[in-house]
Amino acid sequence: MLLLPWLLAQTTTTSAPRIVGDPLPTGVVVGAGVALLVLIVVAGLLVRRRAGRSF
């Protein structure tokens, strides 16, 4: 337990430079969301159709 104060004294926070590009346009984000929603709905319909045939 003698090392604990020394370890706490040695901890420092380093700030790394963030490389961030331009944010995506709103149309791209909305379009991707709508496309994902359509994909989920179509996949759900296909699963329900296949489940209906097997029983």
pLDDT tens digits along 19-42? 778 888 999 999 999 999 999 999
| pLDDT score recorded for residue 9 | 63
Q: Tokens in use for 6?
A: 């020394």
pLDDT, residue 55, reads 52
Mean pLDDT of the chain: 82
> What local confidence, expressed as pLDDT, does residue 54 receive?
60
Q: Which two tokens stand for residue 21?
A: 């590009």
Other CB atoms closer than 10 Å to residue 47's CB: what's the count? 10
Per-residue model confidence (pLDDT) at position 19: 74
Please write down the HEC assignment for all residues of the chain.
CCHHHHHHHHCCCCCCCCCCCCCCCHHHHHHHHHHHHHHHHHHHHHHHHHHHHHC
Residues in the chain, overall count: 55
pLDDT category, 7, cuts 50, 70, 90?
Answer: low
pTM for the full model?
0.54
